[in-house]
Amino acid sequence: MILRAEGLRKLYGEFCALDGVSLAISAGEFVSIIGPNGAGKSTLVNVLTGVLRPTAGAVTFRDRDVSGIGPARLARLGIARSFQLVQVFPDLTVLETLQAAVVSRLGHGARLFASLAADRAVREGALEIAELFGLGRKRHVPARHLPQGDKKLLDVASAFALRPQIILLDEPTSGVSTADKTAIMETLVSASKRIGVQAIIQVEHDMDIVFGYSDRIIALHEGRVLADGPPAAIEADRRVVDTVIGRRARAR
């Protein structure tokens, strides 16, 4: 068991966005979190990655309680993530963005007087990821000049540059055409293999992608886990089909 959450609750003021969510992720798993808008998927990812502090409940990573230690330390421990609303460094180039991630991973951030340009380990680590994600030719483009799809890709790529053990992706293919979605998913899967990522958790609305790639699916609804199981079981679960997947998918 790499990552485990127990009894997570998250209140936004009076509003309860997560209401007792428990889950466990094992090595080698590709898990998709699905659910209608407002189900609490992003809130769950934010709590699991330390961006938000849960109101109650605990998160353990490799048998270590990591609740409330914050995203920076979690990232250094091996949990990386990307965002639903794309997050980039507008004035940094693709290469610089990936270099920053590698600097962080290698612990070179304390090198005040060393030359970044001469740091071969950092440069090569960054270039490798840029190539993996097909961003090699755009490495000198500042993030703010990238098209939306590439921004999203860069956000994801920089998480991979941390060489994490587990990665959480909040809608990695949102806002991308169907054709590009498959390409992104293939990139993600091959990059994970190359890097040795042990588990992927993604939030995804596109059911073709969800059922095409997942080992396991967790359906959230109104802050609770509605169902948690392999794709076949989820597809056969009437409640999930009614509330999450919808009729269109059932007809498929």
Ligand X SMILES: Nc1ncnc2c1ncn2[C@@H]1O[C@H](COP(=O)(O)OP(=O)(O)OP(=O)(O)O)[C@@H](O)[C@H]1O
Q: Which residues bind Mg ion (CB under 5 A)?
A: 41-42, 84
- What does the DSSP assignment read for 88-138? --TTSBHHHHHHHHHHHHHTGGG-SSS-STT-HHHHHHHHHHHHHTT-GGG
Binds other proteins (CB under 8 A): choice among 26, 67, 104, 192? 104
Report the alpha-carbon distance of residue 245 to residue 161 in Å, rounded: 33
Which of other proteins, Mg ion, ligand X, none has residue 17 at its interface (CB below 5 to 8 Å by kind)? ligand X
Report the alpha-carbon distance of residue 13 to residue 185 in Å, rounded: 36
For CA atoms 217, 51, 151, 165, the dihedral sign is negative
Instruction: Tokens 């490798």: give the residue.
Output: 128
Q: How far is the CB of 128 from other proteins (least distance, A)?
A: 16
Which of Mg ion, other proteins, ligand X, none has residue 231 at its interface (CB below 5 to 8 Å by kind)? none
83 contacts other proteins (rule: CB under 8 A): yes
70 contacts ligand X (rule: CB under 6 A): no
Which of Mg ion, ligand X, other proteins, none has residue 38 at its interface (CB below 5 to 8 Å by kind)? ligand X
Query: Judged by CB, which is closer to other proteins: 112, or 179?
Result: 112
Residues of this chain that interact with ligand X (CB under 6 A) are: 12, 15, 17, 35, 37-43, 84
